Structure 1
Amino acid sequence: MTIMRRHGELTRRRGALITAFLALICSAFLALPSNAGAAAFDDCPANTLCLYSGPDGTGERRDFTDRQSLESYDATWDDKTLSAKNNTKLWACVYVDAGYGGLLQTVMPDRFDEYSDGDARWVKTISSHKLVPSRAHCFTGYERCPDDRICTFAQERGRGAMTVHTATTDPATGNVGSSYGTGAAPKSVWNRTAKHVCFYPEPTFTGTWTDTAAGHTYGAYVVLRGDSTTVPAPFAGTFRSHELVDRTADCQ
């Protein structure tokens, strides 16, 4: 009898200890901070990239479908974003410049991001975005170039403002290509034509470059048919005209 009573007391004590332990665990979980950021973005619809004018998914919301990339925003939304929710299965790429240019951030599928504090370069500076199948696609913008065109870009790797060139015949020289001013000086190129393209530093399809370090002088910068490239020094930002040729030997 004594042993049974002691066993009963021991059992009751163990039960009390277990109950107290479970209560402690429950209280600990209740005391843990909730994922307020995730909850704040719950209003973002499925298959949608949501941009918010306030932090933590607050303020005005702009929705973009998973098929809707935008190279620039209208004046009422440009440089307004302070937080974002990527509620799609694609990667979201957001940029501080129009044309997928400047600094960029990537947002994984089904994640959110904040731009309201920390690095001031991101506070109300976002001007374009695109949705892509992998993160690597965020770092280039060549895909914007239409077929059978020469496209030049203001920034490296096909990013930034894009100029689409339609070949014309220059009445003075007979060159088939384009001549342009300093505003179109590109840092990257995609030649989507069936011909090679020769770039020149003068608008008259002439001129030369000198690479002082290498001790060479160049009369043309050539991009072969179908190729895309970031233009290196001393050529980057200096193109003023180009012509289309069947053979690279036909460059001026």
Structure 2
Amino acid sequence: MTITRTHIRRGSLITALLALFCSAFLVLPANADPLPFDDCPANTLCLYSGTAGTGERRDFTDAQSLESYDASWDGKTLSAKNNTALWSCVYVDAGYGGRLQTIKPGNDDEYATDPFFNGTISSHKLVPSRAHCFTGYERCPDNRVCTFTQERGRGAMTVHLPATDPATKNYGNSYGTEAAPKSVWNRTQKHVCFYPEPTYTGSWTDPADQKKYGAFVVLRGDSTTVPALYAGIRSHELVNGTSECQ
């Protein structure tokens, strides 16, 4: 019996393997397209004027929350990348008001196909937890009474500097014709008595039983949404005890 041996040169086998290896790389594109939002720097909230991280980009650090944008950017955001360790909250209205969307740390979001957010985003903030997106009380300075046009401290804020009223001699403020507040934070060391008249007087009537109620009181340090019964606040005074309310 004749045995035939086939000898394969080691050098030829290595050459063939190298040729196959190199050919695999030849089919790859020379310059792969960048991934969406890939240009957003670390520790940054990036807002884009186009979808999927395209168009003009605006960058904000994790310490840059804005209650409103300038005219050149207001309502221009169509996509966003939250490249921070915080939650990002974006709002339809200025002052963290109106409808809102939240973006988890490291995530991105799209707004072009959403009828409520397409071309409407007007403010944003970065916060340690998602729950913080639903309130705006933290804007109120110490030792002030702050009123807000929306519930839970959201919307436009008015900071009231306590002053002694010359007529009543009470430490308070009259609101004039400004919009009645829907929420309030009392950051003073006194209690606050709210009234339906600009002269620190008046009462509210419950339509259910026609019962009358006097001042709406917010204790020192408290924040609250104004109940529907007390809609139409026009003035307040600061007192040492609630029995001092008019």
Q: Does 1:206 align with 2:195?
A: no
> Is 1:63 matched up with 2:43?
no
Partner of 2:237: 243
Structure 2, unaligned runs of 5 or more: 1-32
Say yes or no: does 1:78 pair with 2:74.
Answer: yes
State the Cα RMSD in Å: 1.2
Pairing 1:125-140 to 2, within 5 Å after superposition = 125-140=120-135
Q: Aligned residue for 2:161?
A: 166
Within 5 A, what are the aligned runs for 1:168-207?
Answer: 168-207=163-202
SS at structure 2 position matched to 1:56 = helix
Q: Match for 1:57: what amino acid?
A: G
Give aligned-pair identity as a percent.
Answer: 76
The separation in 1 between residues aligned to 2:225 and 2:177, in whole angstroms, is: 18
**Alpha-carbon shift at residue 182 of structure 1 (Å):** 3.4
- How many residues of Structure 1 are paired with residues of Structure 2 in the alignment? 214
Following superposition, the deviation at residue 171 of structure 1 comes to 1.1
Shift of 1:214: 4.0
The residue matched to 1:86 in structure 2 has which SS? strand
8 Å CA contact 1:163–1:184 kept in 2: the answer is no
Distance in 2 (alpha carbons) for counterparts of 1:201 and 1:134? 36
* Correspondent of 1:100 among 96, 102, 115: 96
Judge which range, 98-107 or 182-191, deviates more: 182-191
SS in 2 for 1:157: helix
- Secondary structure of 1:160's counterpart equals coil
SS of residue in 1 equivalent to 2:228? coil
Report the equivalent of 2:48: 52
Consecutive unaligned residues in structure 1, runs of 5 or more? 1-35
Give the 3-state SS of the residue equivalent to 2:138 in structure 1: helix
Q: Which amino acid aligns with 1:73?
A: Y
Q: Structure 2 counterpart of 1:41, which letter?
A: F
| Letter of the 1:100 counterpart | Y
Contact 1:176 1:244 survives alignment (8 Å): yes
User: Which TM-score applies when normalising by structure 1?
Assistant: 0.83
Q: Which residue of 2 aligns with 1:30?
A: none
Q: How far off its partner does 1:235 sit?
A: 0.9
Question: CA offsets per residue over residues 135-164 of structure 1, 9 Å max, x none?
Answer: 000000000000000000000000000000
Distance in 2 (alpha carbons) for counterparts of 1:52 and 1:248? 51
